[in-house]
């Protein structure tokens, strides 16, 4: 249902993955108070880990957000990652794979009752997503091939739109599925008019201070009210197009409350007290809740392994800014030595992480491709894995010119003590525990690690703009289509965090390694290829290079769980969505608790 909006652009799942761990403050009110006020209305109350940053889909770059409830696109995606018709009832592809014609459903309307037509699709892509004056990250998803050319979009009729591609691009339909359609009648003036600085007013339009009544949507819900740091209330969109098999209009549930609860501990308390109906949980909370599921009249659903990845990444950027190296050249030499990165991988005890931190409810992670993907390569199929082996780690370090002093401390060939800082986001006991273990594990191979917990915003600034970091612990979302994370792997990608180009300013002397360029080339080739056997061979090669060169040292893959009241029916947990449970909200129902 919400591939276009809820799942959003997976490269931004850096934020989505971490959002569930942010615990900065406790919600200031009890959602049960609100729940009882609407006793005669079918509703569901779910946790939102932090407040939204914007109500403007095109300007959003983080999760959690509102868009899984409020917008959809031409194509939808099921919880299993299967494409299905959305606003478009059908589409046709030319024999040369360069033209895609989408036919909209008849009678589509926006939440304010205005018609939704091909003009809205043209406006969305041509005037917003492909507009160079609007800094939306959506545009990069459609930058095709080495030329990074964009498709040409034109209106065929009121219900038909044609996209012409510069070259074959096999992930195109999934890119379309990740792109919400926006209302031309409500936003055109903001695109055309400029602010005093000469920028389109659209950039600052529909911020979180906007009256919710002004936000025009096409998803199953529209915003009824927003109380910052407390909750977002959604009400059923009376013009939502989807119907069930009996012809009844969806969604079934009249109201959804996203209760903003930044503390996972507080959220757990609220769920136990009955204030929350749905709570996506991790292994620790699973252990705490499982024993009381029958007494509390709830069910814990297991969605299997997460589609996302967790890893540590060293700063491999050798560039300079204003003549000054971004990174201490001594550290840069360590980090850019592949044997050093491999030694660190062998030096981390992932089995201990799984048993001690994840309570056994996780699996080792080796591939950057989601386990649910048909392109996934497992260690059993030949992918290189780094099982805990501190002795092998030491041997690799010595072969690369490092040495040990009498105290067992690791020194480089110049006699410098090997010591670096690893950053993680604040507010999560899980992150703190992971960093603490990494610090202890690497001390056993002579490396001193300084674990530094910083707030989320500062962490994002470090990896995207200032580029001032040694090593970071992060998570990244994923999809069944590996191209969904092309921006992480393409050397010029906006999320190429281990050798990032800055958001602002210029770098001198940035070096792209041969293997790094090869991975980028593989993504370009795979995007051109429609033969599934050839595509898999390309992605297999990409995974093998990534695991050999280790720009990302993957850690563990947690199982996904959600605790849901037994009064809620139609639950379909999806690890492919950051929403896990609420991706299917349009088909969920609430029954009386008897």
Which residue, among 529, 492, 530, has the nearest Cα to 512 in the 3D structure?
A: 492
CB 252 within 8 A of CB 568: no
The better pLDDT of the pair 182, 50 is held by: 182
pLDDT at residue 544, as a whole number = 98
Q: Residue 502 above 90 pLDDT?
A: no
Single out the residue of 183, 186, 184, 179 nearest to residue 163, CA to CA: 179
Q: Note the pLDDT tens digit of each residue in 189-248.
A: 999 999 999 999 999 999 999 999 999 999 999 999 999 999 999 999 999 999 999 999
Query: Across residues 361-365, what is the average pLDDT?
Result: 95
**pLDDT tens digits, one per residue of 249-273:** 999 999 999 999 988 889 999 999 9
pLDDT at 23: 31
Rounded distance between C-alpha atoms, residue 591 and residue 566, angstroms: 9
Instruction: With a cut of 60, say whether residue 18 has pLDDT above it.
Output: no
Is the alpha carbon torsion for 510, 514, 518, 521 positive or negative?
A: positive
So what's the pLDDT on residue 593?
62
Work out the mean pLDDT of the chain and round it to a whole number.
91
Q: Beta strands 448-454 and 419-425: pairing type?
A: parallel
Distances (CA, A) of 490 to 135, 148, 316, 541: 19, 12, 14, 15
Could you give the percent of the chain with pLDDT greater than 90?
Answer: 80
Q: Give the separation between CA 72 and CA 441, rounded to whole angstroms.
A: 45
Distance CA(511)–CA(335), nearest Å, equals 13
**39: exposed, middle or buried (Cβ count in 10 Å: 0-12, 13-18, 19+):** exposed
Residue 14 has pLDDT above 70, yes or no: no
Question: Which pLDDT score is estimated for 424?
Answer: 94
Measured between alpha carbons, how far is 180 from 217 in angstroms, rounded to an integer?
10
Mean pLDDT along residues 537-545: 98
- Model confidence at 40, pLDDT cuts 50, 70, 90, reads low
For residue 576, name the pLDDT band (cuts at 50, 70, 90).
confident
Q: What is the reported pLDDT for 265?
A: 87
CA 273 to chain centre: 30
In this predicted structure, what is the pLDDT of residue 308? 87
Burial classification of residue 533, based on how many CB atoms lie within 10 Å of its CB (0-12 exposed, 13-18 middle, 19 or more buried): exposed
pLDDT in tens, 269-307: 999 999 999 999 988 889 889 989 999 999 999 999 998
Which of 51, 65, 37, 66 lies closest to 227 in space, CA to CA? Answer: 51
Average pLDDT score over residue span 104-116: 98
Least confident of 4-8, 149-153, 280-284: 4-8
DSSP lists the bridge partners of residue 554 as: 311
Residue 315 confidence class, pLDDT cut points 50, 70, 90: very high
Dihedral (CA of 105, 111, 115, 120) sign: negative
Q: Could you tell me which of 115, 8, 111 has the C-alpha nearest to residue 59? A: 8
Segment 536-558 shows an average pLDDT of 97
Banded pLDDT at 179 (limits 50, 70, 90):
very high
Choose between 476 and 510: higher pLDDT. Answer: 510
Tokens read off for 308: 């996302």
Burial class for 228, CB neighbours closer than 10 Å (0-12, 13-18, 19+): exposed
Is omega for the bond preceding 23 within 30 degrees of 0, making it cis? Answer: no
Residue 5 has pLDDT above 50, yes or no: no
Q: 320-343: per-residue pLDDT in tens?
A: 998 999 999 999 999 999 999 999
Burial 189-213 (b: 16+ CB within 10 A, else e): ebbeeeeeeeebebbebbeeeeebe
What is the percent of the chain with per-residue pLDDT over 70, rounded to a whole number? 93
Domains of the chain, CATH where assigned: 309-557 (3.10.105.10)
2-6, 44-48, 99-103, 391-395: which has the minimum mean pLDDT?
A: 2-6
How much is the pLDDT for 171? 95
């Amino acid at each position: 249902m919400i591939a276009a909006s809820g799942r959003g652009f997976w490269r931004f799942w850096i934020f989505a993955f971490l959002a569930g761990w942010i615990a900065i403050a406790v919600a200031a009110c009890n959602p049960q108070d609100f729940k009882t006020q609407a006793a005669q209305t079918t509703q569901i109350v779910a946790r939102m880990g932090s407040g939204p940053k914007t109500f403007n889909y095109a300007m959003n770059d983080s999760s959690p957000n509102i868009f899984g409830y409020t917008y959809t696109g031409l194509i939808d995606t099921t919880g299993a990652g299967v494409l299905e018709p959305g606003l478009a009832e059908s589409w046709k592809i030319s024999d040369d794979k360069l033209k895609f014609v989408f036919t909209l459903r008849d009678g589509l309307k926006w939440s304010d009752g205005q018609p939704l037509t091909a003009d809205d699709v043209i406006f969305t892509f041509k005037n917003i997503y492909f507009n160079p004056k609007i800094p939306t990250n959506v545009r990069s998803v459609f930058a095709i091939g080495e030329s990074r050319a964009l498709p040409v979009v034109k209106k065929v009729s009121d219900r038909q739109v044609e996209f012409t591609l510069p070259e074959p691009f096999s992930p195109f339909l999934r890119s379309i599925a990740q792109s919400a359609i926006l209302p031309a009648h409500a936003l055109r003036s903001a695109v055309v008019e400029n602010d005093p600085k000469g920028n389109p007013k659209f950039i600052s339009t529909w911020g979180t201070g906007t009256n919710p009544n002004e936000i025009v949507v096409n998803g199953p819900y529209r915003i009824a009210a927003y109380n910052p740091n407390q909750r977002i209330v959604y009400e059923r969109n009376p013009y939502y197009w989807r119907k069930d098999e009996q012809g009844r209009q969806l969604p079934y549930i009249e109201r959804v409350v996203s209760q903003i609860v930044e503390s996972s501990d507080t959220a757990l308390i609220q769920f136990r007290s009955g204030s929350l109906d749905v709570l996506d949980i991790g292994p620790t909370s699973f252990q705490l809740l499982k024993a009381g599921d029958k007494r509390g009249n709830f069910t814990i659903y297991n969605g299997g392994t997460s589609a996302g990845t967790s890893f540590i990444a060293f700063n491999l950027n050798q560039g300079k800014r204003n003549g000054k190296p971004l990174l201490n050249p001594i550290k840069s030499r360590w980090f850019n030595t592949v044997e050093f990165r491999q030694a660190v991988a062998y030096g981390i005890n992932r089995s201990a992480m799984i048993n001690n931190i994840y309570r056994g409810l996780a699996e080792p992670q080796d591939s950057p491709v989601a386990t649910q993907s048909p392109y996934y390569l497992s260690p059993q199929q030949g992918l290189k894995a780094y099982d805990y082996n501190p002795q092998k780690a030491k041997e690799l370090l010595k072969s690369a010119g490092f040495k040990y002093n009498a105290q067992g401390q690791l020194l480089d060939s110049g006699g410098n003590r090997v010591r670096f800082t690893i950053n993680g986001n604040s507010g999560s006991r899980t992150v703190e525990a992971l960093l603490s273990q990494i610090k202890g594990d690497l001390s056993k191979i002579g490396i001193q690690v300084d674990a530094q917990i910083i707030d989320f915003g500062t962490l994002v600034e470090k990896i995207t703009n200032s580029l001032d970091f040694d090593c970071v612990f992060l998570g990244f979302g994923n999809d069944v289509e590996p191209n969904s994370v092309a921006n992480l792997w393409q050397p010029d990608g906006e999320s190429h965090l281990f050798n990032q180009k800055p958001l602002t300013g210029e770098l001198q002397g940035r070096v792209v390694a041969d293997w790094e360029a090869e991975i980028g080339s593989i993504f370009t080739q795979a995007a051109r290829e429609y033969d599934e056997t050839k595509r898999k061979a390309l992605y297999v090669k990409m995974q093998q290079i990534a695991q050999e060169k280790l720009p990302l040292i993957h850690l563990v893959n947690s199982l996904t769980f959600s605790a849901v009241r037994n009064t809620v029916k139609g639950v379909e947990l999806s690890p492919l969505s950051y929403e896990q449970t609420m991706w299917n909200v349009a088909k969920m129902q609430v029954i009386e608790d008897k």
